[in-house]
Amino acid sequence: DTHTDVKNKPEISSGTPFGKLLREGFLRGEGFTKIGFHSNLNIKQDIDFQHQQQAHVVPLAQVQKDGMAHYLSRALARATATGPAFVSFDTDGCAEAYGPAVSAPIADGSTPRQAVEIAFMAGQHGQVRLFEVVELNLTYDRDNQTARLAATIFTAFLTGVAGSLLKQKQS
C-alpha cells in the first residue's frame, strides 16, 4: 500500500482501517508490516504511530532495492508467529500505468509482477487465512484494466493456496 491507512478519525475511510485495528487491539503491532508505502505521501504522525505500535514499515524504495520476497517472507513470519494472519493488498500500491482505477493513483508504485509475487507467496503460506484486494474504484477504470489486475492478483493468491494444498497432500 502506498499509504499508512492509520489515521485516527471517528469516521471509517480508506485511510483509517489499520489504525483502528491497531488501536482496538485486533492487530498486534509487532505482527503488522506495511510494505511499499511512500514516505513523501504520508504524514510523520502516521509513520510515528506505526513505530510506536512496534509495526514494521518498509518504504517502496527499499522494496525496489532489495526485492519483494525479502520483505514479504519476513512479514509473513512475524504475522504468523502466534497464529493465522491476513494479507491486505491495496491496488493503489501499484503504479497508475498498471492500475488507474484507484482512489489515490500514483506514478511510482509496484508492478503487476510484484503484486502477483505478493499474492502467490501469501497463498503458499499455510497460515494466511484471509487475503483481500482493496481500494479498487471502477468509476475510473479504463477498459477494465484495473479490474483485470485485481483479478490476476487474487488468482495468484488462489494458485499459491492450491499449490500449497497439493504439496501437503503429496507429503
The pLDDT of residue 5? 85
Identify the burial level of 112 via C-beta atoms within 10 angstroms of its C-beta, where 0-12 means exposed, 13-18 middle and 19 or more buried.
middle
Check residues 155 and 59 and name the one with the higher pLDDT.
155
Confidence of residue 171 (pLDDT cuts 50, 70, 90): confident
- For the question of whether the overall pTM of this predicted structure is more than 0.95, the answer is no
Residue-level pLDDT at 40: 80
Contact in structure between 5 and 41 (CB atoms under 8 Å): no
- pLDDT range class, residue 37, cuts 50, 70, 90: confident
Q: Would you state the pLDDT for residue 20?
A: 93
pLDDT above 80 for 2: no
The predicted structure's pLDDT at residue 4: 79
Question: Is residue 3 predicted with pLDDT exceeding 80?
Answer: no
First to last CA, the chain: 36
Say yes or no to pLDDT of 64 above 80: yes
- State how far the Cα of 14 lies from the Cα of 156, in Å rounded to an integer: 24
Q: Among 37-41, 114-118, 153-157, where is mean pLDDT lowest?
A: 37-41
Q: 76-134: per-residue pLDDT in tens? A: 999 999 899 999 999 999 999 999 999 888 888 899 999 999 999 999 999 999 999 99
Q: Has residue 42 got a pLDDT over 90?
A: no
